[in-house]
Structure 1
Amino acid sequence: MTPALRPDVRAFLDLVSASPLARLGDYGIEEARAISNQMRSPPPDPGSVRVSDTSFTHPGGDIALRCYDPGTSHTSTPLMVYFHGGGFVMGDLDSHHQLCLTLAAGVGLPLVSVAYRLAPENPWPAAPDDAAAAARWLAVHGAELFDTETTGLVLAGDSAGANLAAVTARALADTPAACPVLAQCLLYPCVSLDPTTRSMRENGEGLFLTRTALDWFTAHYRAPSDSPRYNLLAFDQAGMPPTLLVTAEFDPLRDEGRAYAARLAEAGVSVTYQEVRGHIHGCFGFAPAIRSTKRDVDRAIAALGVLLS
């Protein structure tokens, strides 16, 4: 059977194709960010999740954090640390607010979203520097933010943020933080941007994330393609934490996500792999607009719960 987009995904893409978002790589940084911001849904009702903002300082500067407390009554709990996507160039605490609310409530863990520095104003390695510094700071100070003992970290992110989560997991495996990394949750990760994969060839045009946009992001981020602080296939996977890895069927990054899941499994890492059928890159962030996505988010949340248990 020939793979097919879901009807509500196709309807969403039809809307995007008529908007400037379809030509994101043709614009300057500020204009592209403004176009991306226009896609944001109104701030959702946080429900039972308590939300607050704070920050910390490290040698790279002040890093803003947003804390999500689901209100679970535990004296000790893991802490989820979330790194947003956006090609290392776009995105912030507001762009992924809806998804972070959903994850905190669904998994039932306190969550902190990290506003790492963006390229091109702060090119690589500013983002992985900030990500590692945030994880280490939260390993020490998470208890103060949520009034509960932090038993370990769950490093999570989508796309570029998933890349940062894995790079940070490797850094903390090599030089441990004040508490262990218990798991990583990687949503349609940027792994190496290999241009030769089948998914890159077949899904690189007309399916939201394009090869033109990927080249644009890469040129601004300026990371060495073979650096283990960027290319997830360039470092030893031994000792990496149990992993939930999610890809999307019509994502140009699909095949490198599959390859990374296989590489982790070959190294003896416990891997739960899910592929969201009939969907595109960034799918979890589109849940308010593409209603069928809710079941995929729920399935990932359930798998993460099993992984942590």
Structure 2
Amino acid sequence: MPPIVSFADYGGMDAIRKSLNEQMEQGIKAGIFKVPDFTGVIKEEVQIPTRDGSTLRAVQYRPESGEQGPLFVYYHGGGWGFGFPEVNEPIFEILTKELGFTVVGVAYRLAPEHTFPTAANDAYDSLKWAAENASKLGSDPSKGIIVSGTSAGGNIAAVAAHEAMDQKLSPPLTGVFLNIPVLVHPDVVPDRYKPHYTSEEEFKEGIILDRKGMEFFYSEYKVDPKSKLINPLLWPGGHKTQPPTYLQVCGMDPLRDDSLIYESLLKEGGVATRLDVYSGIPHAGLDLLPMLSQAKKSLRDMKAGVQWLLSQKP
């Protein structure tokens, strides 16, 4: 079950990783977390090269039928410091079995062993590699390429999306799905947005994620609060070139207003957006409390949102 104390109280990133892995195992044994059925899906590991000569482990999922569908590149959550791609397999099951996607879940490098901006760079490197190797991965990029992530993974997915459009990624990125993302460091929120940026204070003692926890993650990742690579909401070139974007937001999340402000800015720039908000749900509650009706609804919404992204592709 999710922690009711701050992540910062665990005593370090290793302790967080150990505790959450144990909680996940207990949840599976208790039937709280559903083990996906990947019958009819090929699952295998791939290695992705990075700009600094390292390699990233990634997990690829594709329909066994051999039908080439769109490509979905995903980054897990975990404060840039813990987590792994397989934790999001309930999403991957829907994408592969019901929508025909090839999914690449990327194990980007984690803090504190790998500090800022390693995760952000890994995100763009892996997106670029996946797009350029889409056909080899068993997908058809002409049917769409979507980048996505949850929480800290949503942060680096949004950064990768901006890098992709700035650098004219080919084949092109066609959609973005951000789930409870970190989009701006609280120290650099512009004055014009502050009247709308209240959730960070409102839920500073929030369940699952609180202010102390976010400060811990920022510290472990050693972020530069002023860098565009932590603040996609403040991207220097703006957002007008962004592809259609779908966002899922939790109503009791200190990060709630990151997404609400960002979605407004996208719309101002003429970008097509779709937004689902889950009232009364804390950060990551949709993943960590899968028995809730809102969590089940979020998976249905995810399917509809991704279908909407595909329908927006020119």
How does the TM-score come out when normalised to structure 1? Answer: 0.87
> Which letter does structure 1 place at the counterpart of 2:55?
D
- Structure 1 pair 291/88, CA: closer, same or farther in 2 (3 Å)? same
Match of 1:262 among 264, 288, 296: 264
Separation (CA, whole Å) in 2 of partners of 1:217 and 1:300 = 27
Tell me the alpha carbon deviations over residues 52-95 of structure 1, each in whole angstroms, 9 at most, x when there is no partner.
111122233110110111446644x3200001111111111233
Given that 2:7 and 2:209 are in contact with CA atoms closer than 8 Å, whether structure 1 keeps it comes out as: no
Given that 1:227 and 1:234 are in contact with CA atoms closer than 8 Å, whether structure 2 keeps it comes out as: no
Alignment of 1:1-309 (within 5 A): 16-17=3-4, 22-26=5-9, 27-40=11-24, 41-42=27-28, 43-60=35-52, 61-71=54-64, 74-75=67-68, 77-146=69-138, 148-151=139-142, 152-194=144-186, 197-235=197-235, 236-286=238-288, 288-309=290-311
Percent identical pairs in the alignment equals 29
1:200 positional shift: 1.4
Specify the SS of the correspondent of 2:86: coil
1:291 positional shift: 4.9
Given that 1:72 and 1:108 are in contact with CA atoms closer than 8 Å, whether structure 2 keeps it comes out as: no
Given that 1:194 and 1:256 are in contact with CA atoms closer than 8 Å, whether structure 2 keeps it comes out as: no
Question: What is the root-mean-square deviation of aligned Cα atoms in Å?
Answer: 2.0
Tell me the alpha carbon deviations over residues 109-156 of structure 1, each in whole angstroms, 9 at most, x when there is no partner.
11100001111111111111111111111112121122x432242000
1:29 positional shift: 1.6
Specify the SS of the correspondent of 1:95: helix
Tell me the alpha carbon deviations over residues 16-51 of structure 1, each in whole angstroms, 9 at most, x when there is no partner.
43xxxx232121121111112122243433243332
- Runs of 5+ unmatched residues, structure 1: 1-11
Given that 2:91 and 2:299 are in contact with CA atoms closer than 8 Å, whether structure 1 keeps it comes out as: no
**Count of residues paired in the alignment:** 290
1:194 positional shift: 2.2
- Structure 1 pair 32/287, CA: closer, same or farther in 2 (3 Å)? closer
Separation (CA, whole Å) in 1 of partners of 2:120 and 2:306 = 24
Separation (CA, whole Å) in 1 of partners of 2:22 and 2:297 = 25
How does the TM-score come out when normalised to structure 2? Answer: 0.86
- Structure 1 pair 175/55, CA: closer, same or farther in 2 (3 Å)? same
- Structure 1 pair 186/248, CA: closer, same or farther in 2 (3 Å)? same
Separation (CA, whole Å) in 2 of partners of 1:175 and 1:110 = 24
Tell me the alpha carbon deviations over residues 222-251 of structure 1, each in whole angstroms, 9 at most, x when there is no partner.
221121111022211120110001111111
- Runs of 5+ unmatched residues, structure 2: 29-34, 188-193
1:261 positional shift: 0.6
Given that 1:79 and 1:142 are in contact with CA atoms closer than 8 Å, whether structure 2 keeps it comes out as: yes
Specify the SS of the correspondent of 1:96: helix
- Structure 1 pair 225/54, CA: closer, same or farther in 2 (3 Å)? same
Given that 2:120 and 2:159 are in contact with CA atoms closer than 8 Å, whether structure 1 keeps it comes out as: yes
Specify the SS of the correspondent of 2:252: coil
> Which letter does structure 1 place at the counterpart of 2:12?
G
Given that 1:242 and 1:269 are in contact with CA atoms closer than 8 Å, whether structure 2 keeps it comes out as: yes
Tell me the alpha carbon deviations over residues 244-298 of structure 1, each in whole angstroms, 9 at most, x when there is no partner.
0111111110011100111111111111111012212113423544354111220
Separation (CA, whole Å) in 1 of partners of 2:116 and 2:258 = 21
Displacement over 4 Å in runs of 4+:
none
Separation (CA, whole Å) in 1 of partners of 2:43 and 2:293 = 25
Separation (CA, whole Å) in 1 of partners of 2:150 and 2:239 = 19
